[in-house]
Structure 1
Amino acid sequence: MIRKLNRVIQDFLRPIRLNLGRKLWDRKTEKHLELIKDNRVDMSRVKSILFLRYDGKIGDMVINTLMFREIQKRYPEVKIGVVSRGAATDIIKFNPHVKVIYNYKKGKESELANEIAKENYDVLVDFSEMLRVNQMKFINLCKAKINIGLDKDGWNLFDLSYRKDSRKHITDMYKNVLGVLGIENPDLSYEIYTGIVVKDEIKRRLRELGNPESFTILNPYAASKHRSFNVEKILEISSKILKDTKGMLLFIGEPSKKQEIEEIIDALGDTGRVKYPTLSGILEVVELIKHADYVITPDTSIVHIAAAFKKPMTAVYRADSEEDTNSELWAPNYKEAKQIFSMDLNKKIGEETDINLFNIDEI
C-alpha cells in the first residue's frame, strides 16, 4: 500500500519537477550557427563529438558502436568521447574509435560536466527520450557548441533534433543521428573489442572444459523477472538442447543465480555436457558468445552481443501490442537469428506478460 501510494505521489510530482527543471536548464548562452548547414552539422568544422550514454544499458552501448566506427571511417581526425557508467563502459573499453571515456556518477554530474566543458566539444549527442532534471543540468553545463537530442524540437538547450520510429528497428534511429552528422548509407553492424587478456582467459576456460567442438549458450535471465525464464522452462529448454545436439550446454547468468543454475544442472543429470563457467565481467561473456555455436536468450543485451558476431540464435520476446512494438524495435535483425514469442492470452490489465508461455518446439 505504501509503495503504491509513493508511485502515485511520484507520478504526480514528476511533470512538476520536469517543468521546473526545464525553466532552469532549457537554455543555451551561445549559439554556434556556423557549425550548422542545411539543418545538419557541418562536419568540415567539427573536431570533437561527445556521446551521452549515462543510462548504463549494455545493449544500447553495443548498438552505439556502429556510430563510433562510421564517424571514424568518414572523419578519422574527429575525437570521440563517451559518457558512460557501469558494465556498459566495458563494451567500449578497448574500442579503437573512442578516444575518451568519462565515468558518470549520480550526484557528481556538475563535477564531470565542468571537466568536460574544459575540453570544448563541438557536438554533443544525447539519446534520452525523456530528460530528467539532472540530465538537463548536465547537458547545459557540458557547454558543447552544438547539442543534438531525440525529438527535441522546441527546446532551447538543443540545436538539432533527430527522430525515432518505434515501428522500425533501433538502428534506424542511429542512422537518423548519423544523417544529422552528414553520414549517409552507413554500415549498421555492431562491433565489440574484448582485449588480449579476456581472449586468453576464455581460451583457458574452454581448455578446462576440454575444448568442446561445439556448444550452445543458454542465458535464462533478463533485467526483469517477468522477462526471465522460470526453472521449469529452463529445464525444458535444456533437455531439448541435450536431446537435439551433441555439443555442450553452457549457462551464463549473474553470480546471484549460481545456486539455482547448479541445482538445474544436477536435475538434468548430465554434468559432463552441462556447465556453468564462472565469468568475470561482461567482456568475458562477449568472448564466450563469440566462440559459441548457438545462443538462446530472452535478454536483449545478450541479443545485441550475439548480433555483433552474427551468431545463430533464438531470441524470446513477449508478443507485441499496439502500444508496445518491443520485438520490432529491439529485434536481432539478421538472418541467422530468429524470434519466438510468448503468447500470454490470459494476461489481465496492469499485469506483466509471462515470458514462459511459448512453444518449446520453436527453439
Structure 2
Amino acid sequence: MSKINWKFYRPYRDKLIDKKNEILSRIFDKNKKDINLVPSKIKRILFLRTDGKIGDYITSSFIFREIKKNYPNIQIDVVADKSLENLLKLNPNIDKYYILNRKKMHEWRNIVKVLRKNKYDVLFDSTEGLKYKQVYLLNRVNAIVNVGYNKDDYKIYNKNIKQNNTLKMIQIYRQMMKSVNVEIKDTKYDVPISEESKKNVAKFLEENNVKDKIIALNFFGASRGRKINEENALIIIKRLGEMYKDYTIIILDSPNDRETIYNILKKTDNKNVLFFEKSKTILDSISIINSSDLVVSLDTSILHIAEGLNKKIMAFYGPKINKNKWRIKEEENILIDYTESRINDVDFEKVFDKLSYENNLSAI
C-alpha cells in the first residue's frame, strides 16, 4: 500500500474542513435584530476566548479592568479553552470563568447548558477565524447582543466590527466595546504575576548566582513552521552572547519541545545558558520575563507578555497576513522581519551581522 503524500493531501483536507464549518455554521446562524444597549442596562457580559491564544488574551486584558473600574455592577464571565485557565484564575476583574476543551463537541454542549441560564446581555467574540462550534454556542446562549469582529456574512452577530488592516488590535477591541457604548481609555495590558512562580524563579536565579543582566529567549511558536531547530538555535545563542556579553540567557519552556531544548543545552559552548527545568505553566515564563532585561522571541504570546511588562524586546516576524495588527511597538525595540515562509530558512548569521552593524553605527 502506497504512503499518503501529506503535502498534497493537506490542502484538500483543509478545504473539506472549511466547507464543513461553513455548512454547519449556516445551520446555527440565527438572525438577530440590531439593539442599542447602554452600559446602565448591561448586567452580564460573556467573553468568548475559545481559541486558547495566550497573546490575544493578554492584548485584550485591559478590557476586563476598564469595565470593572467604570461599571462595577456589570458581571464579567469568560468561556475559554483550558490553555488560558492559569491566566484567568489570577484576573481579579473576571467574576466567573468556564473552561472547555475546544476539540470536544460534547464539552461545548455541556457548557452551553450552563451558560444559557445566565441570560447574558452581551457576548463578545473577537476571534478572527470562525468554527461552527462558536456559532452553535452563540445560537444556544442567545445573548441580547452578539458583538463580532470580521463576521460580516453572519446574521447572528448583530454588532460587527469590520476588518481594518490599518488598525492595531487594541483599537479594534475598543471599537467592539464602543458598539455597546462602553468607552475604554486606558489600554495598558494586565499581565498576571503568580507569587508562587515568582518565588520559584527567584530561587532558581539565586541557585545559579544570577542577579541581573538576563535575556529570556523563546525558540518556539505555535505552528511547526515557527519552531527554531537546534542548528539555528545555537547560532542565535552564539550571536546573542557576542552582542550582550556577560548576560545570562534563559531558554523559555515549551513542553512539547523539551527534547530540542535539552539537545541545545548539551551542544552550546556558552556556559551562561540556563533552563528552568521545573517550569510547569506559562506563569513561570512570565516570572522569568519579568526578571529579564531583554526578551527575544518569535512567538507572539511571549512578545505581548514582554510588552505588557515593559521589557526591551527583539522580535522576529514572518510574512503573515495582517501582521501589523499584532505588532509590538517599534520604539526602543528590535523588530526583525523575515520573508521566508519557514523560520528555519532564515539566514540568522546575516540577520545578526546586520544587527551588529546597525548597533555599531548607533554607538558612534
Q: TM-score range by the shorter chain?
A: 0.7 to 0.9
Residues 88/356 of structure 1: CA separation in 2 closer, same or farther (3 Å cut): farther
Residues 193/20 of structure 1: CA separation in 2 closer, same or farther (3 Å cut): closer
Counterpart AA for 2:295 = V
Deviation at 1:16, TM superposition (A): 5.7
1:356 matches 2:353: no
Question: Is contact 2:139–2:156 with CA below 8 Å preserved after alignment?
Answer: yes
Counterpart AA for 1:111 = N
Counterpart AA for 1:260 = T
Question: Is contact 2:63–2:184 with CA below 8 Å preserved after alignment?
Answer: no
Question: Is contact 1:189–1:308 with CA below 8 Å preserved after alignment?
Answer: yes
Residues 83/297 of structure 1: CA separation in 2 closer, same or farther (3 Å cut): same
Deviations 1:143-189 (A, max 9, x none): 21211112334633222111232233222211211221323452222
Aligned to 2:283: 283
Deviation at 1:57, TM superposition (A): 0.9
| Counterpart pick for 1:46 among 35, 42, 45 | 42
Question: Is contact 1:216–1:250 with CA below 8 Å preserved after alignment?
Answer: yes
Aligned to 1:348: none
Residues 124/287 of structure 1: CA separation in 2 closer, same or farther (3 Å cut): same
| Counterpart pick for 2:82 among 45, 68, 86 | 86
Once residues 134 and 259 of structure 1 are traced to their aligned partners in structure 2, the CA distance between those partners, rounded to angstroms, is 34
Once residues 298 and 218 of structure 1 are traced to their aligned partners in structure 2, the CA distance between those partners, rounded to angstroms, is 9
Residues 10/304 of structure 1: CA separation in 2 closer, same or farther (3 Å cut): closer
Deviation at 1:12, TM superposition (A): 4.5
Deviations 1:16-73 (A, max 9, x none): 6523531x21115x85x6xx43xxx311100111000001111111112021112122
If the length of structure 1 is used for normalisation, what is the TM-score?
Answer: 0.86
| Counterpart pick for 1:8 among 5, 8, 12 | 12
Aligned to 1:309: 309
Counterpart AA for 1:213 = D
Instruction: Report the secondary structure of 1:237's partner residue.
Output: helix
Aligned to 2:238: 239
Deviation at 1:198, TM superposition (A): 2.1
Aligned to 1:135: 134
Deviation at 1:295, TM superposition (A): 0.7
Instruction: Report the secondary structure of 1:304's partner residue.
Output: helix
Deviation at 1:138, TM superposition (A): 1.1
When the two structures are aligned, how many residues end up with a matched partner? 344
The runs of 5 or more residues in structure 1 that have no matched partner are: 345-350
| Equivalent residues in 2 for 1:183-332, closer than 5 Å | 183-184=182-183, 186-243=185-242, 244-271=244-271, 273-278=272-277, 279-319=279-319, 324-326=321-323, 328-332=324-328
Question: Is contact 1:56–1:89 with CA below 8 Å preserved after alignment?
Answer: no
Residues 134/296 of structure 1: CA separation in 2 closer, same or farther (3 Å cut): same
Residues 42/318 of structure 1: CA separation in 2 closer, same or farther (3 Å cut): same
Residues 258/212 of structure 1: CA separation in 2 closer, same or farther (3 Å cut): farther
Once residues 260 and 20 of structure 2 are traced to their aligned partners in structure 1, the CA distance between those partners, rounded to angstroms, is 44
1:21 matches 2:25: yes
Aligned to 2:66: 70
Residues 2/192 of structure 1: CA separation in 2 closer, same or farther (3 Å cut): same
Counterpart AA for 2:95 = K
Question: Is contact 1:68–1:97 with CA below 8 Å preserved after alignment?
Answer: yes
Once residues 56 and 171 of structure 1 are traced to their aligned partners in structure 2, the CA distance between those partners, rounded to angstroms, is 18
Deviation at 1:120, TM superposition (A): 1.3
| Equivalent residues in 2 for 1:108-147, closer than 5 Å | 108-147=107-146
Deviations 1:219-249 (A, max 9, x none): 1111123222232222122112223321211
Once residues 268 and 77 of structure 2 are traced to their aligned partners in structure 1, the CA distance between those partners, rounded to angstroms, is 47
Quote the RMSD (CA, aligned, Å).
Answer: 2.4
Question: Is contact 2:194–2:287 with CA below 8 Å preserved after alignment?
Answer: no
Counterpart AA for 2:142 = K
Deviation at 1:275, TM superposition (A): 0.8
Once residues 220 and 121 of structure 2 are traced to their aligned partners in structure 1, the CA distance between those partners, rounded to angstroms, is 40
Residues 130/281 of structure 1: CA separation in 2 closer, same or farther (3 Å cut): closer
Question: Is contact 1:151–1:161 with CA below 8 Å preserved after alignment?
Answer: yes
Residues 115/16 of structure 1: CA separation in 2 closer, same or farther (3 Å cut): closer
Aligned to 2:164: 165
Instruction: Report the secondary structure of 1:87's partner residue.
Output: helix
Question: Is contact 1:303–1:332 with CA below 8 Å preserved after alignment?
Answer: yes
Question: Is contact 2:253–2:285 with CA below 8 Å preserved after alignment?
Answer: no
Instruction: Report the secondary structure of 2:82's partner residue.
Output: coil
- Which piece of structure 1 moves more, 282-291 or 1-10? 1-10
Deviation at 1:334, TM superposition (A): 5.4
Residues 13/195 of structure 1: CA separation in 2 closer, same or farther (3 Å cut): closer
Once residues 78 and 184 of structure 2 are traced to their aligned partners in structure 1, the CA distance between those partners, rounded to angstroms, is 23
- Which piece of structure 1 moves more, 258-267 or 296-305? 258-267
Once residues 198 and 86 of structure 1 are traced to their aligned partners in structure 2, the CA distance between those partners, rounded to angstroms, is 19
Question: Which ranges of 4 or more aligned residues in structure 1 deviate by more than 6 Å?
Answer: none
- Which piece of structure 1 moves more, 351-360 or 187-196? 351-360
Report percent identity of matched pairs.
Answer: 26
Residues 234/12 of structure 1: CA separation in 2 closer, same or farther (3 Å cut): closer
Counterpart AA for 1:218 = L
1:95 matches 2:87: no
The runs of 5 or more residues in structure 2 that have no matched partner are: 357-364
Deviation at 1:268, TM superposition (A): 2.6
Question: Is contact 1:229–1:356 with CA below 8 Å preserved after alignment?
Answer: no
Residues 251/352 of structure 1: CA separation in 2 closer, same or farther (3 Å cut): closer
